[in-house]
A and B are shown apart, each in its own frame.
Chain A
Amino acid sequence: MAAERIETRVGNRTLSLSNLDKVLWPRDGYTKRDLIAYYERVSGAMIPHLTDRPLTLERFPNGIDASSFFEKNVPKGMPDWVQRASLPSPGGTRSKITYVLCNEAPALVYLANLAAIVLHVWTSRVGSIDEPDFVLFDLDPGEQCTLKTLTIVTLAVRDALVGVGLSPLVKTTGGMGLHVVVPLTNGHSYEQAKIFAEIVARHVASQCGELVSLERMIAKRRAAAVYIDYVQVGHGKTLTAPFSVRARDRAPVSWPLDWSEVEAFKRSRTTVPADAFAKYTIRSVPKALEEQGDRWSGRSWKRAKLGTTIGRARKLWR
């Protein structure tokens, strides 16, 4: 059977979309059309977060229950107008990888049409690819970790950062945990971002005691603790992009939160973190975005210089 194709115009590009009725979320009945419509609607807020960041696509051509694959190199047949960047392979071999850059709404729609449900981005942008533009704390709750514990630890990370004059931002990962980021000015190396993240993580760990684990081996972590992953920064390391959809039931979205929402989790009757975050989905987020705007937008994206920060940290965290 010949695949049905639909020609459509997004911005100033003409795209040919296929198999729009293919069900990607079998238990929710969401189709590829829903995925494309979602990405199109949030593209205005999402594109600034994607621009010039090398992408890794996580594609689910036959839905979230079927096999999926990660794709770093530009997918076959990608139109010339989609931008790309050739970078040395992180493996250290001499080969190069040509990454997709999603710098405009039509490219985002094009990727959605490839059933690229999840978009993973680098923490740096082409042009200054060795300089991360934010520090990342990936707060990953263990299996028995409650929403309350995750909230306490997340707020401890925030307080540590605010205490040294920084303006951290927070989002759901779309899965179990939360991402906290600190935007940086140009000129910081991956190493510096990583060391700073480690300093903060250790400081928070010393404050929160057994609520926090810095243990990289899952088997050694306490199931009730929050793992603060501060090493997910570097060449080829990625995180789920803001507004990216996840391949889980209900199609949850990585949603930038206001800190007051994190505080409200303290009073939540939900105990499982993922349940609390599950209300941000491809169904609810476009409307929430229209009403509340992007909490990670330019104005809240206050970029810090670690040189100034570390002097303050020295005074406060001795």
Chain B
Amino acid sequence: MPRAIWSGSISFGLVTIPVKLTGATRSHDLAFHMLHAKDEGRIQYERICSVDGKKVPWDEIVKGYEFEKDEHVILTDADFERIDPKVTHTIDIQEFVELEKIDPIFFDQPYYLEPTKTGRHAYALLRETLEQSGRVAVARVVIRTKEYMAALKPAGAALVLDLMRWSNEIVDPSSLDLPEDEKMPSAELKMAKMLVDSMSVDEFEPEKFPNRYREELLAIIDARVTGKELPKMKKAAPSRGKVVNLMDVLERSLKETHRESKESKSRRRKTA
């Protein structure tokens, strides 16, 4: 069973629902250690002062904010404590909103909420209510020492707490050069739609998209460990260069045919 990383309660109005929080995703990235090639010794980091070149013990380290190039202001533990959020252990629901009204770009990190014994009924009630109303709860929550904005969503039998990005963390796309007032000829649009239709599926099945990089990397690791022969690398897809060249050839040929047929028509007209 996954370990809970936080426990507390959902609260709205006078209702409190005791819950535990567990991660809803896991990273599958393969981690590598840095080793010394010569003797495979693990590489260690040391904290070295750039002024005296000496190793610095933890108790001599402070946090500095660079407010101008090379100009730092030092903040003490007391400063941080002053603004530390109150560790409340509650998921404070602020409001409810239709899920579609939240741009998915805001969702950052999902966690499952699991009710403790006494909270099962209230948990199910909240989940059903959200499910049937099509809304999600927007809440504030403090995890460890940081405060987050989060959405509380029904997902099957579970409630998911999805930590959200703050509005100022979203980059405004207006800084990009995007085609906005482009005219779309309806024929082109129709054709593109046809293509989309022909490639459409009824259900999204993420299993159809395996993480090939990881699988291939694991195969190499496995071969190295067992001393087997390295797996054959898949050949890169044939280059499209040839296709493009062929298009040139075909286009030229089609143009010639076109000219010839025009010429023969005009000849015919002359002789007529």
Chain A residue, CB-CB nearest to B240? A206
With contacts A192-B257, A209-B234, A307-B258 taken as known, whether A202 is within 8 angstroms of B247 at the C-beta atoms is: no
Q: CB-CB < 8 A to A314: which residues of B?
A: 244, 247
Q: CB-CB < 8 A to B247: which residues of A?
A: 199, 310, 313-314
B251, CB-defined interface residue at 8 Å:
yes
B225, CB-defined interface residue at 8 Å:
no
Q: CB-CB < 8 A to A199: which residues of B?
A: 243, 246-247, 250
With contacts A192-B250, A199-B250, A202-B238 taken as known, whether A163 is within 8 angstroms of B198 at the C-beta atoms is: yes
Q: How far is A314 from B257 in the complex, measured between Cα atoms in Å?
A: 19
With contacts A159-B195, A163-B198, A317-B243 taken as known, whether A196 is within 8 angstroms of B234 at the C-beta atoms is: no
Contact B253 A189 (CB under 8 A): yes
With contacts A159-B195, A189-B257, A317-B243 taken as known, whether A206 is within 8 angstroms of B238 at the C-beta atoms is: yes
Interface of B is mostly: helix
B36, CB-defined interface residue at 8 Å:
no
A53, CB-defined interface residue at 8 Å:
no
Chain A residue, CB-CB nearest to B192? A163
Shortest CB–CB separation between residue B107 and chain A, in angstroms? 32
Chain B residue, CB-CB nearest to A193? B250
With contacts A202-B242, A206-B240, A314-B247 taken as known, whether A159 is within 8 angstroms of B253 at the C-beta atoms is: no
Highest count of chain A CB atoms <10 Å: which of B194, B240, B253:
B253
Q: What 1/0 mask marks residues of chain B from 220 to 254 whose CB sits below 8 Å from any chain A CB?
A: 00000000000000110111101110110111011
Interface size of A as a range: 20 to 34
Q: What 1/0 mask marks residues of chain A from 295 to 310 whose CB sits below 8 Å from any chain B CB?
A: 0000000000011001
With contacts A159-B195, A310-B247, A312-B191 taken as known, whether A192 is within 8 angstroms of B237 at the C-beta atoms is: no
B199, CB-defined interface residue at 8 Å:
yes
Q: How far is A237 from B249 in the complex, measured between Cα atoms in Å?
A: 22
Contact A159 B199 (CB under 8 A): yes
With contacts A206-B237, A206-B238 taken as known, whether A158 is within 8 angstroms of B198 at the C-beta atoms is: yes
Q: Which of B198, B242, B254, B261 contacts A310 (CB 8 A)?
A: B254
Contact A163 B195 (CB under 8 A): yes
Contact B257 A162 (CB under 8 A): no
Interface size of B as a range: 20 to 34
A90, CB-defined interface residue at 8 Å:
no
Contact B198 A162 (CB under 8 A): yes
Q: CB-CB < 8 A to B253: which residues of A?
A: 189, 191-192, 195
Q: How far is A188 from B261 in the complex, measured between Cα atoms in Å?
A: 11
Contact A196 B250 (CB under 8 A): yes
Q: What 1/0 mask marks residues of chain A from 140 to 175 whose CB sits below 8 Å from any chain B CB?
A: 000000000000000100110011110000000000
A203, CB-defined interface residue at 8 Å:
yes
Shortest CB–CB separation between residue A263 and chain B, in angstroms? 10
Q: How far is A313 from B243 in the complex, measured between Cα atoms in Å?
A: 10
A111, CB-defined interface residue at 8 Å:
no
Highest count of chain A CB atoms <10 Å: which of B237, B238, B254:
B254
Q: How far is A69 from B247 in the complex, measured between Cα atoms in Å?
A: 40
A226, CB-defined interface residue at 8 Å:
no
Q: How far is A155 from B250 in the complex, measured between Cα atoms in Å?
A: 24
With contacts A187-B257, A306-B250, A310-B254 taken as known, whether A318 is within 8 angstroms of B195 at the C-beta atoms is: no
Q: How far is A199 from B242 in the complex, measured between Cα atoms in Å?
A: 8
Q: How far is A313 from B249 in the complex, measured between Cα atoms in Å?
A: 14
With contacts A206-B237, A206-B240, A209-B234 taken as known, whether A192 is within 8 angstroms of B199 at the C-beta atoms is: no
Q: CB-CB < 8 A to A162: which residues of B?
A: 194-195, 198
Q: What 1/0 mask marks residues of chain B from 170 to 214 whose CB sits below 8 Å from any chain A CB?
A: 000000000000000000000100110011000000000000000
With contacts A163-B191, A165-B191, A310-B251 taken as known, whether A195 is within 8 angstroms of B246 at the C-beta atoms is: yes
Instruction: Give 11 A-B contacts (CB < 8 Å), ordered by A residue.
Output: A162-B194, A165-B191, A165-B194, A187-B257, A192-B250, A192-B253, A198-B246, A199-B246, A202-B243, A310-B250, A314-B247
A-B contacts besides A162-B195, A192-B253, 6 pairs, CB < 8 Å: A159-B198, A165-B191, A199-B243, A202-B240, A314-B247, A318-B244
Chain B interface residues toward A at CB < 8 A: 191, 194-195, 198-199, 234-235, 237-240, 242-244, 246-247, 249-251, 253-255, 257-258, 261
